Structure 1
Amino acid sequence: MLLHILGSSSLAPSRPSPLRQGGSGSGSGSATVRCASSSSPPPSSSSAAAAAGQQVAKVHSYGTLDYERRAALRWSSLYRRIAVGHGGRPGGRTLAGGDEGERRLDKWELCRISRELRKFRRFNLALQVYDWMTERRDRFSLSSSDMAIQLDLIAKVRGVAHAEEYFEELPDPLKDKRTYGSLLNVYAQAMMKEKTESTFEQMRKKGFATDTLPFNVLMNFYVDAEEAEKVSIIIDEMMDRNVAFDVCTYNIWIKSCAAMQDADGIEEVFNQMIRDETVVANWTTYTTLASMYIKLGNFEKAEEFLKEAEKRTTGREKKCFHFLITLYSHLGKKEEVYRIWNWYKATFPTIHNLGYQEVLSALVRLGDIEGAELLYEEWASKSSNFDPKTMNILLAWYAREGFVTKAEQTLNRFVEKGGNPKPNTWEILATAYLKDGQSSEALSCLEKATAVVSPSKWRPRPTNVENLLAIFKERNDTESVDRLMNVLRSRGCEENEEYKSLINTYAFQGT
């Protein structure tokens, strides 16, 4: 999902990873704040285009392989085999099979595959690629940029503790600004304040806090942590140390002003950005501004900035279309949502699950359920990857509105097509049953959620637990209480204070 600039507001799409995934592959920096890179408009004349085509692209690879200077080999076919789980094999076995024959896989191909997997948030598979290279260090020379990417993937797949262990085991020469920057980003993503601040302080002392990137990560952390007032302190430090601002710096600064509801500050920062000749405002800037003004209730100005964002939209960034669809829906502009969606479909030959999820959410938000149902059927007829997140959007609306039969039918069809419900899918249906007074069916759904083998940290909603306990106590139904207690124990809820309080409140005499 998307990150936008609204903090905890319901307008804010969920945030993606801030690790840079584009650029020079294994040579990209270890982390960057979540916004698109600025780009210049294409030259208007054919001669200018020809001249531009003769220039060598400037790629900041930090000394590692440069993707833009190598012709594409056979990485794409191998990537597809890994992405679809070729033959049910793990990524390592697929790579081993592709490494046989006359020509062995090289680092460029493998880093390119990992980059694509990260682009589509296939972090587990991307980590398998790096693990495979790590096991063959006699063949592959891994740089600190590679280590930074691997550290980030470890945190996403195995958790922060494993990432910390990986960092500690790195040789000292590889503990440079890239790996430290990646560790900083891991802590910031995990909202670990003390470790985020201490890591940044270590970077200061070691002379690694000289680039824009770590400052952007720290400022973004403070906005997310609802300490937006600290951003101005970091901005002052950047000015004192002559650290250049980039488009992300300004976007985060605008976020911080919006978080403090400082409309004058937003205007001031934006005007300073326009005056800064080293920075070009991009679509992210304008969707950010639109988000701010939606939050502040100035819908006219928000729509004005969305039109500016559209002018800077290219056929390379699906995320821009996602933001436009979401923000127009918050403005109540159904016709604009459909216009952007049609533009999106005309631009990209393949629409992935995330695109359908964004527009489904927008149509549900607008109350266009008929349109949402038609779109869901389109997705179900075309998709080969039945992501329950897509189905959950429609399912949740049915649950909220009390359409239990429709909710059941939708989930049944999803399972028949080969979809695997997640724990929260079953709880959505449980909520529908509770609203309909079917407590036994609701309890069965929670038991099914518990039985799903998943890395999810799902726990039943306290409100659902409270409602069920109240019903069972009223009926003196100790058997159902025992079943519900088993659900809570299996998810580690019994030691949680909120759940303990509920259990004590509704405890049966003698149980």
Structure 2
Amino acid sequence: MLLHLVTSSSPLTTARPSTQRRPCASAAAGAVTIRCAASSSSTPSSSASEAAAAGQQVAKVHSYGTVDYERRAPLRWGTLYRRIAVGHGGRPVSRTLGSWDEGERRLDKWELCRIAKELRKFRRFNLALQVYDWMAERRDRFPLSSSDMAIQLDLIAKVHGVSHAEKYFEDLPDTMKDKRTYGSLLNVYAQAMMKEKTEDTFEKMRKKGFASDTLPCNVLMNFYVDVGEPDKVSAIIDGMKERNVSFDVCTYNIWIKSCAAKQDADEMERVFSQMIADESVIANWTTYTTLASMYIKLGNSEKAEECLKEAEKRTTGREKKCFHYLITLYSHLGKKEEVYRIWSWYKATFRTIHNLGYQEVLSALVRIGDIEGAELLYEEWASKSSSFDPKTMNILLARYAREGLITKGEQILNRFVEKGGNPKPNTWEILATAYLKDNKISEALSCMEKNDTEGADRLVSVLTSRGCVEDEEYKSLIDTYAFAGA
């Protein structure tokens, strides 16, 4: 029993050179979350050293739309970034920036935007927003363009919610309500799955002439795929053709994804053929992983593996997400040796492997039934990690629960807590479900923390689904919880 634990969470054609490359545009300089990646013709090396060398290729930094950052001499912004990222003694970002600006070196906009970009890259949205807020309070020194405001709008939505982002947009001067800020608002609505507002905003952009670019069309198409209406993508494609809106690699990737969502292999291969024939774009790793996903669903393992090999050729050391997709898709094919090969390449390419990387590989090993390998990987993570994310532990715990290995589940949870980990409500839900499966009612109830409303709600839901709520053995405990949480 765990009562001593206390919680405080078609043919495949290889890519050919093109006379023109159109990089994937990004709303608010990266606010949009459509899967896009730069293409490359480099092939994975069989040796770890060569893979590491390939992974160290320096990726260019895309412009924020205000300054040509790629031509600036590199500045020493890293020290300040680290101070902000680690909290520097718990001080607010504004104080850290102010101290640096006054005591060490006068800051310029390039450095601040670069720091904010890095913070956004690692999803430190609150910190990134504070950097932009600090600049906004000093507009005499840091004049903000509509691109900057588009980024700020996106960050406000992520940190404070859609309503605050809407208020920010409404308060913008009319001169700043251009295709960038409108595009950022469109993306905010799309990410929030707000259908009516997404469609209305796109229509406003169309009437104002802001939908003549590829990006808003891509956002709307991706939105329809995400909300389960892939049939509407074709109409947007037709509209783009009528208005002579050019396609980029993201357009084709989303179009292919919509075909996959409809499970229409013939149309998917037609779109892919059209993409290959379009000299203005080059298929990237996203194209081939999307194709592979479709072929896996259709049971065509041979074509799926061909696609994954093509995706590998377009993988560089810039995009960890590609490695995640390769590992996941190879595991769906049951290719254990390929999972380990990509994992070795991954570790040789990146100096630091974050929690998400371990989670992807751990899930893959569990999926293919390599529990021994998963346990070894978990121990590697636990010995190296300084951030005990319960999501990592939950992957193995859930497998133990499914297999009825309750003792192992208790052991891994106990060790996680001893190391300073903080289980989340779904951790207790996983364990409680395992106890219920083994008809251990008292142990299941021990997972209910009275001061953890969300966890208790989840557990009561599990108990209710199993028809246990009328059992006198623990009905009084549920009533007690309901009274305490009222």
Is TM (by shorter chain) over 0.5?
yes
Question: What SS does the aligned partner of 2:458 have?
Answer: coil
Change (3 A) 1:29 1:475: closer
TM-score of the superposed pair, with normalisation by structure 2 = 0.86
1:224 aligns with 2:226: yes
**8 Å contact kept, 2:257–2:290:** yes
Counterpart in the other structure of 1:185: 187
| Alignment map for 1:478-493 (pairs within 5 Å) | 478-486=475-483, 489=485
> Where in structure 2 are there 5+ consecutive unaligned residues?
1-22, 44-59
Question: What SS does the aligned partner of 2:447 have?
Answer: helix
Indicate which of 207, 210, 214 corresponds to 1:208.
210
1:77 aligns with 2:79: yes
Greater mean deviation of Cα atoms: 237-246 or 162-171: 162-171
For 2:333, the aligned partner's letter is L
Question: What SS does the aligned partner of 1:471 have?
Answer: coil
1:37 aligns with 2:34: no
Counterpart in the other structure of 1:294: 296
Post-superposition Cα deviations, 1:232-291, rounded to whole Å, max 9, x if no partner, equal 100000011110100010011111111111111011000000000000011111111101
**8 Å contact kept, 2:24–2:38:** no
1:474 aligns with 2:466: no
Counterpart in the other structure of 1:237: 239
**8 Å contact kept, 1:395–1:428:** yes
For 2:482, the aligned partner's letter is M
Counterpart in the other structure of 1:415: 417
Counterpart in the other structure of 1:137: 139
Change (3 A) 1:29 1:209: farther
Greater mean deviation of Cα atoms: 120-129 or 188-197: 120-129
Counterpart in the other structure of 1:460: 458
**8 Å contact kept, 1:26–1:146:** no
**8 Å contact kept, 1:446–1:460:** no
| Alignment map for 1:3-402 (pairs within 5 Å) | 28=29, 31=32, 33-39=34-40, 61-62=64-65, 64-402=66-404
Percent identity between matched residues is 75
For 1:261 and 1:461, the matched residues in 2 are separated by 36
Q: What's the CA shift for 1:145?
A: 1.0
For 1:485, the aligned partner's letter is A
Q: What's the CA shift for 1:422?
A: 2.1
**8 Å contact kept, 1:209–1:215:** yes
Q: What's the CA shift for 1:304?
A: 0.7
**8 Å contact kept, 1:184–1:200:** yes
For 1:458 and 1:327, the matched residues in 2 are separated by 35
Q: What's the CA shift for 1:371?
A: 0.5
Counterpart in the other structure of 2:445: 443
**8 Å contact kept, 1:31–1:181:** no
For 2:64 and 2:303, the matched residues in 1 are separated by 39
For 1:324 and 1:77, the matched residues in 2 are separated by 34
Change (3 A) 1:319 1:259: same
Question: What SS does the aligned partner of 2:36 have?
Answer: coil
Q: What's the CA shift for 1:38?
A: 3.1
> Where in structure 1 are there 5+ consecutive unaligned residues?
1-21, 43-56, 491-511
Q: What's the CA shift for 1:23?
A: 9.4
Question: What SS does the aligned partner of 2:449 have?
Answer: helix
**8 Å contact kept, 2:432–2:459:** no
For 1:189 and 1:422, the matched residues in 2 are separated by 25
For 1:131, the aligned partner's letter is D
Greater mean deviation of Cα atoms: 133-142 or 217-226: 133-142
Post-superposition Cα deviations, 1:200-239, rounded to whole Å, max 9, x if no partner, equal 0000111110110000000011111111111110000001
For 2:63 and 2:323, the matched residues in 1 are separated by 27
TM-score of the superposed pair, with normalisation by structure 1 = 0.82
Q: What's the CA shift for 1:481?
A: 2.2
Change (3 A) 1:211 1:367: same
For 1:105 and 1:27, the matched residues in 2 are separated by 22
**8 Å contact kept, 1:29–1:178:** no
Counterpart in the other structure of 2:18: none
Q: What's the CA shift for 1:448?
A: 5.9
Q: What's the CA shift for 1:314?
A: 1.1
For 1:137 and 1:446, the matched residues in 2 are separated by 51
Q: What's the CA shift for 1:60?
A: 5.2
Change (3 A) 1:81 1:264: same
Counterpart in the other structure of 1:8: none
Change (3 A) 1:135 1:419: farther
Counterpart in the other structure of 1:54: none
CA RMSD of aligned residues (A): 2.6
Change (3 A) 1:207 1:39: farther
Post-superposition Cα deviations, 1:167-195, rounded to whole Å, max 9, x if no partner, equal 11111111111111111111111111101
Change (3 A) 1:102 1:226: closer
For 1:217 and 1:260, the matched residues in 2 are separated by 19
For 2:401, the aligned partner's letter is A
For 2:423, the aligned partner's letter is P
Question: What SS does the aligned partner of 1:112 have?
Answer: helix
For 1:119 and 1:227, the matched residues in 2 are separated by 29
What is the aligned residue count? 448
Post-superposition Cα deviations, 1:377-399, rounded to whole Å, max 9, x if no partner, equal 10111111111111111111122
For 2:407 and 2:93, the matched residues in 1 are separated by 41
**8 Å contact kept, 1:115–1:126:** yes
**8 Å contact kept, 1:25–1:115:** no
Change (3 A) 1:462 1:38: farther
**8 Å contact kept, 1:426–1:449:** no
For 2:287 and 2:456, the matched residues in 1 are separated by 35
For 2:313, the aligned partner's letter is K
Post-superposition Cα deviations, 1:34-75, rounded to whole Å, max 9, x if no partner, equal 221334669xxxxxxxxxxxxxx896543x123212223232
Q: What's the CA shift for 1:486?
A: 4.7
For 2:422, the aligned partner's letter is N
Q: What's the CA shift for 1:444?
A: 3.8
